[in-house]
Chains A and B, each alone.
Chain A
Amino acid sequence: MSKLPANSKTRRGGLRGAVTYLALSIWAVVVLFPFYWMVLTSLKSYAAYNSEHIPAFFTLSPTLENYVQAFTAVPLGGYLLNTLIFAVITTAVMVVVSTLAAYAFARLRFPGRDLVFGFFLSMMMIPSELVVITNFVTITNLDLRNSFPGLILPSITSVFYIYLLKENFEQVPDELYRAAKVDGTSDLKYLWKVMVPICRPTIVTITILKLIECWNSYVWPRLITDDRAYYLVSNGIQQIREEGFGRENIPAMMAAVVVISVPLVLLFLAFRNKIMEGASRGGLKG
């Protein structure tokens, strides 16, 4: 919209613009400040931090000793590796399982399909808090506590992603399928060679969203692991805070927090548009 040339109007518009930018910048500071403080604190030495009765907004002698401490005092590297393994396997299996199911719903004909899909959809309403109890018992009874299968199995399925993929698959024109059938293409090959490439944007989106979800998951890993060898980062950082060095060495704890946060921030900056678009279609938090 263009500004009106009348003088009083533009002046008022200019003032409104300034106030708008000021307000937006304030919220930007509120959002960014914790990140700044986290990095800043992680660079302050233990001694320097504890001698600051009044917190300093910058440091002139940054040090990496906290990062060394974070990786040596607790197996932070191990936590990161565990989380990576957990996130990658869970996401990979989720994508495969969801793709197959979405394909069945979108393309294959079988009696009762809509009924089954409706049943699937209704499962979206089941809150995870409700099922966690029995899952905990199930995994315990299967003797899968403190193991990757125990962590991964209940985390795989997401009805929502099946739904998202199915919607996307249905947009691929029927003619392609019929043409492929005429050429004698098998369903699996058609799925792999035609559907998946066409719907790649959606698949990438759900992959990234699931990775974020896995990286941040806390409740289930906490229930199912008490052996530090299987801790994920969320549990690791909580353990550091309550039993580890976090109780007194704040800078080292902040170093750990930075290490945990950085991979996701990088992932976000790399796939900014994909993540934001995907998140607006179905949020995880909120």
Chain B
Amino acid sequence: MDRSSRKAWLYLLPAAALLAVFLVYPVIDVLIYSFEEGFNFASQTYWGVGLYNYSYVLHDPYFLQAVENTFVLVIITVPVSTTLALAISAALASIKPLRSLYQTIYFLPYVTNTLAVGLVFMVLFQKTEYTDGLVNLMLEWFGAGPIDFINGPHWAKMFVLCFYTIWVVMPFKILVLTGALASVNPDYYKAARVDGTSRARIFFRITLPMISPMLVYLVITGFIGAFKAYSDAVSLFGTDLNAAGMNTIVGYVYDMLYGDSGGYPSYASAAAIILFVIVLTITCINLLISRRVSGEGGVHIQ
């Protein structure tokens, strides 16, 4: 190896070493874990190799509950947040005064501690012996009965989780879509106006196709992010998510690893790999669909 190559590797060494130890090795290792049956953490021994861990996880009612919760969360929050962000960004693009102020406000949730602010949502939605909480107060104005969103029925808890998740992911989506809308050359709109195109038609025939690459990007990252939901749920319902019936797949992985029911890295690994496969599959499907729908149009994501 010549001198300059040696130097290059020297520059790369810290990053490469850290990545090797904490990223590459673990990916391989987790695969191995997931196939080692009856792994004992204390003695570091196992008695077989096979698919038992996967079978165990797939038959664990807690895991199935977690999968169900995660899917519901994904299916609700991704379309709702993306559509809402699109509407807000389009509204932002149409105004001039105060735009920067609104943008700043809308971005605030991005920089807040998910765990900490989740507690505020818990307080807002919770019903205790002392008080029904603010949200229930507002429901009362509309004549709806008090609902305990934090310790009550599953659908109510799901609602809060979705609401909070959307609140948390909106800043990024608004930011990206505002940028995408701003990058559309105004001459297109002028050309459309000369031709007397209606606002709705401009939006659906011109704006939407032009920003579709960014929308695809948002939907894909949105899916990935929502599948990894965990901290939001913890902040609302506490660390024992299984008991609350609100666990997510990621939560299940962590609980298996280290939690009240923890100490089973093999099960955790199997669950993590199942999650990875789900995310990978859905991302591929997303890409395929988006390529078919908007494939030929617009600019592509670099």
- A and B directly contacting (CB within 8 A): yes
Interface residue ranges, A against B (CB under 8 Å):
1, 16-17, 20-21, 23-24, 27-28, 30-32, 34-35, 37-38, 41, 50, 52-55, 96-98, 100-101, 103-105, 108-111, 113, 116, 120, 123, 126-127, 129-138, 153-154, 156-157, 159, 162, 187, 212, 215-216, 218-219, 222-223, 233-234, 237-238, 241-242, 246, 250, 253-254, 256-257, 260-261, 264-265, 267-268, 272, 275-276, 279-280, 283, 285-286
Are A134 and B108 neighbours in the complex by a CB distance under 8 Å? Answer: no
Q: Does any Cβ of A come within 8 Å of B239's Cβ?
A: yes
User: What is the predominant secondary structure among interface residues of chain A facing chain B?
Assistant: helix
- Residues from chain B with a CB closer than 8 A to the CB of A133 are 26, 29-30, 33, 253, 257, 265, 268-269, 272
Are A275 and B111 neighbours in the complex by a CB distance under 8 Å? Answer: yes
Are A261 and B88 neighbours in the complex by a CB distance under 8 Å? Answer: no
- Residues from chain A with a CB closer than 8 A to the CB of B87 are 23
Are A104 and B238 neighbours in the complex by a CB distance under 8 Å? Answer: no
Closest residue on chain B to residue A246 by CB atoms: B119
C-alpha gap A268/B116 in the complex (Å): 17
C-alpha gap A135/B22 in the complex (Å): 6
Q: Does any Cβ of A come within 8 Å of B117's Cβ?
A: yes
- Residues from chain B with a CB closer than 8 A to the CB of A21 are 95, 98
Are B179 and A280 neighbours in the complex by a CB distance under 8 Å? Answer: yes
Q: Does any Cβ of A come within 8 Å of B14's Cβ?
A: yes
Nearest first, the 8 closest Cβ-Cβ pairs linking A and B are: A134-B26, A131-B26, A286-B172, A101-B15, A104-B11, A110-B8, A108-B8, A110-B5
Closest residue on chain A to residue B230 by CB atoms: A219
Are B167 and A31 neighbours in the complex by a CB distance under 8 Å? Answer: yes
Are B225 and A286 neighbours in the complex by a CB distance under 8 Å? Answer: yes
- Residues from chain B with a CB closer than 8 A to the CB of A17 are 95
C-alpha gap A259/B29 in the complex (Å): 40
Shortest distance between the CB of B100 and any CB in chain A (Å)? 9
Are A123 and B8 neighbours in the complex by a CB distance under 8 Å? Answer: no
- Residues from chain B with a CB closer than 8 A to the CB of A272 are 104, 107
C-alpha gap A215/B117 in the complex (Å): 13
Q: Does any Cβ of A come within 8 Å of B113's Cβ?
A: yes
Are A286 and B169 neighbours in the complex by a CB distance under 8 Å? Answer: yes
Are A38 and B272 neighbours in the complex by a CB distance under 8 Å? Answer: no
Q: With contacts A129-B275, A283-B221 known, is A134 near B238, CB below 8 A? A: no
Q: Does any Cβ of A come within 8 Å of B301's Cβ?
A: no
